[in-house]
Structure 1
């Protein structure tokens, strides 16, 4: 068995892994990335990027169908599903190729194959199987960035078959537009696909086990989103559970227990599973090394350390929040700590979350309920899109911006938004939280006019009874 030594080996070339590898190379480490599929991981190839391409198509389609509102005429609006999918795949391919170029630019060695860890080595050792052959690689430090996959529940029939019951992978490359679609789960993945297919003409039903949709968001955001999606024609069941799914010919039959205890059975063309994810911890040799795993995720400290010398883990493998930008930042923190620098430990409360449905949803920090649970006395500001000139001019006057402050210190505890382009706006509050800003700095910041960002200012002012335009 041949052997090659590196300073740093990263297992997994997704947004956590390839970023960690680049930062390692920048810091002078001889670095390698092991990837069994395509560079860019799920995010670039089957997640964040191609789904946004699909949702962009849905946005344009929606605008074309509502052209009269803007004084325009567009008749006989239709779409070519094959072309829609091809555009999405082309976007993903372009970015994956870009990651390959970044690896070459930073002199990172890319190793193709399936990795496992070797037990009993003085330094971490990685065995990579490719084309039936094993090659041994050693390094002073090994970072695991193997990501996660869709959760399934086989005993209830909640298991993808690739044809009628889909995960996000199949939902991104449909061979035909379903007339009736069941979406199981209303987190970011579920609600984005529900919105896309509903906009493109499918009759969509969403089933959420918890008592509200997008349950990780602030309760006011969930309530607003529910009204918006119902207005668009989606059927949404909260506090409900899909007890059984089965495929019969060309149909998906689902038994759904509703919140009041009543059970109904319905038939759909397709079903999408969006009930969470599980970490890719299998077949790596983690248990033999003594790595602690909890609920399919590797336990780490704020710098990615696993407790096993020289072995680290980052990204979706380590648990929530399951976000690409969290993985990337985690990778940088981990590598900089390895290099002897002094980065801040991971602080998940400063990580913004974005959902790209229509209306868009974005948040950072504590919800109102979580802030109260944590014992804070709070001040809350809320400003509606209907009070903003730019939103009205865009024809996007539905939504709001909500801010939460510590009443005693003025610390920004959280911000929550729903409406047009809020996934771009949220970064302003993310910067504010990272800088540990208070209401005073935000109040004295000048926001350009006319912009949607003015609502951010007004929401802060409203928390202190100083809102100007509503």
Structure 2
């Protein structure tokens, strides 16, 4: 007789679980103890193991579906075994009840939501909360874990790993400060590292759930798509209606079309943050923000890292002085950097990868990280035809798409793929969906790279500014900053770009200690249109890293106190 696979009750408070992914298909053989599927509860993701050996005869509930605990979701039995009549009756009754429940839900949900949000990332969950704060009846649909890429697979996990790098750095230079550590052999326990990362992520995702619930947002777990009637269908079955829709689908890892890219040894930023072993040799395909951050992480953890970048410099969207400094910094740490380099083919052999590079020797590595950027995830578009621009949904300054009443904030519109920009766009979309008329302002959005030292940028690069303005440049090195010297963190500089005619601060670019925090001061002054003349009059605490910003502003005017007089 076939054995039921049921939705487990993983904790006293668990009432239902969502099926994230079946790892086996109907007809596949399963060993007892082998992982059958992955589920998600409101607290954690977990794997469900087979309680018996046999063949997966039938899957009752598919990926993305939410199922009450102790409900049958599949059957395991002998090969070719027919499910008994009583079991078939159970299945039919179960499916019948599901239809009845859906119909009942539709009857109860006749009230229309003011706003339906598809996507629970930074743009989505912030939009949902903002719309609720403005008095709206709000629903949010999320196919995976709330918090989006940044929280679950990007910014937050990466920064957790980078804190480990920072600790390693401090240990290595402790003796210079008179702190003697006996037998300072450093080893990385990747199991514990991944566990801590997961703990941090879980704390934040649970916080997002709490915030949404406290604001009365109805949360639907599943894949949401927009229908022709501008309604939202969840998991291809349940339909909810709303007056306005906010499509905040976020983004996904960009792919390149070369031979061998589908190898299991080519991983994305999603997979690398769950590795339990440090690769001996690691290639980073792409020298952007993700590439340099994770390159630094795994180099510090013990990998021999090579970064491959097609452009002529790292992080090519940033100021050239920043790129040059970052290049030297990473190179000094033993990271090999190949710029102006095209990857032509990947060959997997003997559990290793051979990367064939145009005009250069082949590169042999254990794993390769694909980090060439991200592209909008438009899965939620469904049956609606939006005006598009190179795979991105076009929006106006109010975050509204070409279809009236549907808004698309965040990565999905491709304007500025940063989590903090997405939250701003999400708020604006919510305000306008609730009847407001506000434009988004992204001009002075900071961009940061959390290497050691950090990198931060606001506004125009020197190259861009010269095309439009008559400019002056102010620059101050951290080696001249008292706090930096006392801390032993003297690498880097602050660079300020100023319009000579009016003193407007056009751009600020920094490499140095805590500059990701300092960028917020620069952004604030630029947003308030504070001139460089006014900025130098603002008294800063001493000793602080931020004094370097004031000195750079003074240098732009030829008035720096702590720099030698220019000839």
TM-score (norm 2): 0.78
1:52-104 CA deviation, whole Å, 9 max, x = no partner? 00110111012112221221122222221111111111101110000000011
Deviation of residue 196 (structure 1)?
0.5
Aligned match for 1:361, one of 455, 475, 483? 455
SS in 1 for 2:443: helix
Structure number, greater radius of gyration = 2
**Is residue 411 from structure 1 mapped to residue 508 from structure 2 by the alignment?**
no
Aligned match for 2:192, one of 83, 100, 120? 83
Counterpart position of 1:388: 481
Deviation of residue 197 (structure 1)?
0.7
1:425-445 CA deviation, whole Å, 9 max, x = no partner? 100011111111111220111
Counterpart position of 2:549: 456
Deviation of residue 396 (structure 1)?
0.4
Contact kept in structure 2, 1:16 and 1:314, CA below 8 Å: yes
Counterpart position of 2:400: 305
Deviation of residue 158 (structure 1)?
2.8
The structure-2 alpha-carbon separation of the partners of 1:66 and 1:160, relative to structure 1 and needing over 3 Å to count, comes to farther
Counterpart position of 2:268: 167
The structure-2 alpha-carbon separation of the partners of 1:340 and 1:436, relative to structure 1 and needing over 3 Å to count, comes to farther
Contact kept in structure 1, 2:223 and 2:380, CA below 8 Å: no
**Is residue 198 from structure 1 mapped to residue 299 from structure 2 by the alignment?**
yes
**Is residue 101 from structure 1 mapped to residue 213 from structure 2 by the alignment?**
no
SS in 1 for 2:237: strand
Contact kept in structure 1, 2:319 and 2:509, CA below 8 Å: yes
In structure 2, distance between residues paired with 1:320 and 1:273: 22
Task: Name the stretch that deviates more: 63-72 or 304-313.
Answer: 63-72
SS in 2 for 1:85: helix
In structure 2, distance between residues paired with 1:348 and 1:158: 35
Runs of 4+ in structure 1 deviating by more than 3 angstroms, as ranges, are 1-4
1:152-180 CA deviation, whole Å, 9 max, x = no partner? 1243333463xx21100111111211111
Deviation of residue 347 (structure 1)?
2.9
Q: Which has the higher contact order (CA 8 A, sep 6+)?
A: 1
**1:44-193 alignment runs, 5 A limit:** 44-74=151-181, 75-119=184-228, 121=229, 124-129=230-235, 134-159=237-262, 161=264, 164-193=265-294
Contact kept in structure 2, 1:65 and 1:77, CA below 8 Å: no
Aligned match for 2:378, one of 275, 281, 294? 281
1:90-129 CA deviation, whole Å, 9 max, x = no partner? 101110000000011111110111111111x2xx310011
In structure 1, distance between residues paired with 2:509 and 2:259: 35
The structure-2 alpha-carbon separation of the partners of 1:409 and 1:29, relative to structure 1 and needing over 3 Å to count, comes to same
The structure-2 alpha-carbon separation of the partners of 1:73 and 1:63, relative to structure 1 and needing over 3 Å to count, comes to same
Deviation of residue 342 (structure 1)?
4.3
In structure 2, distance between residues paired with 1:283 and 1:8: 15
Aligned match for 1:346, one of 421, 440, 460? 440
Counterpart position of 2:523: 430
Which runs of no fewer than 5 residues in structure 1 stay unpaired? none
For the aligned residue pairs, the C-alpha RMSD in angstroms reads 1.3
Task: Name the stretch that deviates more: 312-321 or 392-401.
Answer: 312-321
Aligned match for 2:465, one of 334, 357, 371? 371
Contact kept in structure 2, 1:280 and 1:296, CA below 8 Å: no
SS in 1 for 2:292: helix
SS in 2 for 1:101: helix
Deviation of residue 379 (structure 1)?
1.3
TM-score (norm 1): 0.94
Contact kept in structure 2, 1:160 and 1:273, CA below 8 Å: no
